[in-house]
Structure 1
Amino acid sequence: MSALRVLFLGGAGMIGSAVAREAVQQGIDLAVVTRGEHRRALPPEVRGIRADVRDAAALDDALGDAEYDVVVNWVGFAPADVLPDVDRFAGRTGQYVFVSTCSVFGRPVPQLPITESSPRRHPVFGYARDKLASELALEDAHRERGLPLTIVRPMHTYDETTMIFPVSWTAIERMRRGEASVVHGDGTSLWTLTHSSDVARALVPLLGNDHAIGESVNLVSGDVLTWDQIHTALARAAGVRDPRLAHFSSESIGREIPGWAEVLQEDFRHSILFDTTKLRRLVPGYHPQVSFSEGARRIVAWHEADAARRAFDDDLSAAFDRLIRNG
């Protein structure tokens, strides 16, 4: 029996590299297209293809007439990024997987928990709006042209090399000093975090899975936390037992820190939790293995291993102080 042949368009980032490792461990024959050096180390078994995914002629030249059982697009952020794939891979792949985001679901969600059939709507938040437009364009191609489409949606994925935005290392250092870290809202809205290795355990079994054709699947863990709990877990991993947290509205924070305004007001302020019935039906036995308590310890340990990773943002800290001082 020959190995499943899978092509990644992009996919050398945090999530893609984790999925690549899991895919190779499962015996998948994997090729990854990137235009430069991989941002993350990929297993030696992965075949690298050098091309700019956005350059149609260069990509066609690099791929030649090769056919793949599965094509996964990691770098589609707008319809213009994905629509060329409809012609390119028609008849050349048994499954086309689009990596979208759970941010496409409308906020506030009319009913929790979120399922794959929950309303999708995001007219303001640009990232989610463009991902949703890409989903709709590909769904049209599935219905009208038979594109063997599967949409997967990770939700706020992290690994040890990342902080949990809007928490930063600056916030960790402030809590270590006994200073307050700013939290949006009253800190009790619910959020879902998933370690990249758990996303990989959910996604790889969907590759080449005929039951996933025509489906969208939310790739999420069951680790539901409040934003206060997220801050507290990171603080305790850093040795702070009772961190000081200062709560402000998303609007107030956005006025003081404009770069945070859109994501806080249009996304993070709302409670988010998911029904994982479809994922567990398509991937029997799927169980997330990395709790956020463990994930927080890994984050802090990775940052502590190198002083260059622990940048302190004086401007952000000053913005926190202004918020606290002005109430």
Structure 2
Amino acid sequence: MRALFIGGTGTISSAITRQLLKQGVELYLLNRGSRNELLPKDAHILQADINDEYYVALLIESLNFDVVVDFIGFEPAHVERDYRLFRGKTKQFIFISSASAYQKPLSDYRITEGTPLSNPYWQYSRDKIACEEYLMNQYRDHGFPVTIVRPSHTYDERSIPLGVHGSNGSWQVAKRMLENKPVIVHGDGTSLWTMTHNSDFAKGFIGLLGNIHAIGETVHITSDETVTWNQIYEIIADALGVKLNAVHVPSVFLAACSKQDLRGSLLGDKANSVVFDNSKLKRLVPGFAATTRLDQGIKHTVEYILTHPEYQREDPEFDQWCDEVISTMQQGFAKLNS
């Protein structure tokens, strides 16, 4: 198999890249080269900016692929460009969409690929929906061999998966836990959530490559394990060897007072209960099973980050914001109870 990945070094794609190379797949990575230390040695590197369409067309002029995957397409213009570049040059085109595109609020907490797509809270999700619609139109009208994949919250060893964190990632929350400082948990912490280790995601994804039954289909890839946010934060604290000091803050309050887009990532995603039905994936990829239990995956992630200082990026601004939010909540409670 000859495959081309647009991207290839992110949380989702890196695990897929490693597993494919072990299987001897002829893998090309179209990458700007800004993260050369993460590029695998056994892959063929096509160094280019995918947005430089003319140059990319020259690079791939003599190449044809069994599968092309775009991990970094976010807007309709991106997939329109992909269609121009790869029509007639691949037997399968896979677009990485997002499970955040599913209906918010949900009419049924059990999510299948048939759940309506609608997210009034997050432009990111609406753009992914528009990308899907464009590509499926090309499939229906012109036979473009597209497969849509919708990941949910996927994590690896480089970042602790959380509900609320700053622009520098999750380390500052872990640091607050280690310092016994209070940590914000959105809502009352009882909403249901699904997290998937990237090695498990890769197993399901690789089963879709070259799969004739996946052409023209949309499929999400997640773990079958469902946990509450209270459980998630307890698991992280336990992995750090500390006692959790949680402060529950309404998601609408957090979204209203944050400089970040928590309206999208919380109200349009993590504040909602989600339980995924993976029956379709298991029909397409017989034998698929996510085997990394969340507490095991989090433990490995925490151990990795604690021994790799380069992933311990502090975020003083977020730290101060947490203190201010918690103080405001406590003052409000004190005033109401006085």
Give TM-score scaled by structure 2 length.
Answer: 0.91
- Answering whether residue 264 of structure 2 is matched by residue 267 of structure 1, we say no
Letter in 2 for 1:184: H
Residue 39 of structure 1: how far off its partner (Å)? 5.5
2:103 corresponding residue in structure 1: 106
Question: How big is the shift at 1:204?
Answer: 0.8
**Cα 1:40–1:222 shift into 2, 3 Å:** farther
Deviation (angstroms), 1:32: 0.8
Q: CA deviation at 1:45?
A: 2.1
Instruction: Give the alignment's TM-score, normalised by structure 1.
Output: 0.94
The amino acid across from 1:108 in the alignment is P
Tell me the C-alpha RMSD between the 2 structures: 1.6
Moved more, 190-199 or 87-96: 87-96
Paired residue secondary structure (2:260) = helix
Structure 2: tracts of 5 or more residues without a match: 330-338
Tell me by how many angstroms 1:52 deviates.
1.3
**Matches of 1:192 and 1:93 in 2, distance apart?**
33
Select 2:5's aligned residue among 1, 5, 8.
8
C-alpha distance in structure 2 between counterparts of 1:256 and 1:158, whole Å: 27
- Which residue identity lines up with residue 257 of structure 1 in the other structure? S
Q: Does 1:158 align with 2:155?
A: yes
Alpha-carbon contact 1:12-1:40 (below 8 Å) kept: no
Q: Distance in 2 between matches of 1:26 and 1:38?
A: 24
Residues 39 and 224 of structure 1: is their aligned pair in 2 closer, same or farther, counting only changes over 3 Å?
farther
Compute the displacement of 1:260 (Å). Answer: 4.6
Instruction: Find the residue that maps to 2:150 and give its secondary structure.
Output: strand
Shift in CA distance, 277/73, structure 1 to aligned 2, threshold 3 Å = same
Deviates more, 1:297-306 or 1:38-47: 38-47
Q: Which of 314, 317, 322 is the aligned partner of 1:315?
A: 317
Q: For structure 1, which segment, 45-54 or 133-142, has the greater mean C-alpha deviation from structure 2 after superposition?
A: 45-54
| TM superposition shift of 1:25 | 2.0
> Which residue is 2:14 aligned to?
17
Deviations 1:119-161 (A, max 9, x none): 0012330111111100000011010011111001111111010
AA paired with 2:191?
Answer: S
- SS of aligned partner of 1:130: helix
- Residues of 2 paired with 1:285 and 1:14: CA distance? 23
CA contact (8 A) 1:33 1:48 kept: yes
Q: Which moved more, 1:104-113 or 1:140-149?
A: 104-113
Q: Map 1:123-134 onto structure 2 (within 5 A).
A: 123-134=120-131
Instruction: Encode CA deviations 1:190-218: one digit per residue, 9 max, x unaligned.
Output: 11111111111110111100010011110
What is the CA–CA distance in structure 1 between the aligned matches of 2:267 and 2:18, rounded to whole Å? 35
* 2-structure distance, mates of 1:224, 1:322: 31
The letter of the residue matching 2:23 is Q
What residue identity is the alignment partner of 1:74? F
Contact 1:191–1:271 (Cα < 8 Å) also in 2: yes
Partner of 1:119: 116
**In 1: Cα distance, 2:37 partner to 2:140 partner:** 36
Question: What does the per-residue CA deviation read over 1:38-74, in whole Å, with 9 as the maximum and x for residues that have no partner?
Answer: 4563432211111111111011011113111111111
Conservation of the 8 A alpha-carbon contact between 2:100 and 2:268: no
Q: Which has the larger displacement, 170-179 or 277-286?
A: 170-179
**Structure 1 residues 285-296: aligned runs within 5 Å:** 285-296=287-298
- Offset, 1:308: 4.4
Contact 1:50 1:62 in 2 (8 A): no
In structure 1, what is the equivalent of residue 254 of structure 2? 253
1:136 matched to 2:133: yes
* Number of aligned residue pairs: 323
Q: Distance in 1 between matches of 2:87 and 2:262?
A: 41
Unaligned runs of 5+ in 1: none
Report Cα offsets for 1:163-222 as digits up to 9, x if no partner.
213253222232233321111100001111111111111101111000100111101111
Match of 1:244 in 2: 245
Q: Counterpart of 2:204?
A: 202
Task: Write the distance in 1 (CA, Å) between the matches of 2:72 and 2:127.
Answer: 12
Are 1:107 and 1:122, in contact at CA under 8 Å, matched by a contact in 2? yes
Counterpart for residue 77 of structure 1? 74
Aligned residue type for 2:200: D
> Which residue does the alignment assign to 1:34?
31
Q: Which residue is equivalent to 2:177? A: 175
1:230 counterpart residue number: 232
SS, match of residue 229 in structure 1? helix
- Structure 1's 260 and 186: CA in aligned 2 closer, same or farther, altered over 3 A? farther
State the secondary structure of the residue aligned to 1:206: coil
Question: Match for 1:91 among 88, 91, 95?
Answer: 88
Q: What letter is aligned with 2:150?
A: R
Whether contact under 8 Å (1:71, 1:96) holds in the other structure is yes
- SS of 1:259 mapped into structure 2: coil
Query: Aligned to 1:93, what secondary structure does the other structure show?
Result: coil
Deviates more, 1:156-165 or 1:229-238: 156-165
CA contact (8 A) 2:226 2:275 kept: yes
Give the alignment of 1:43-62 within 5 angstroms. 43-62=40-59
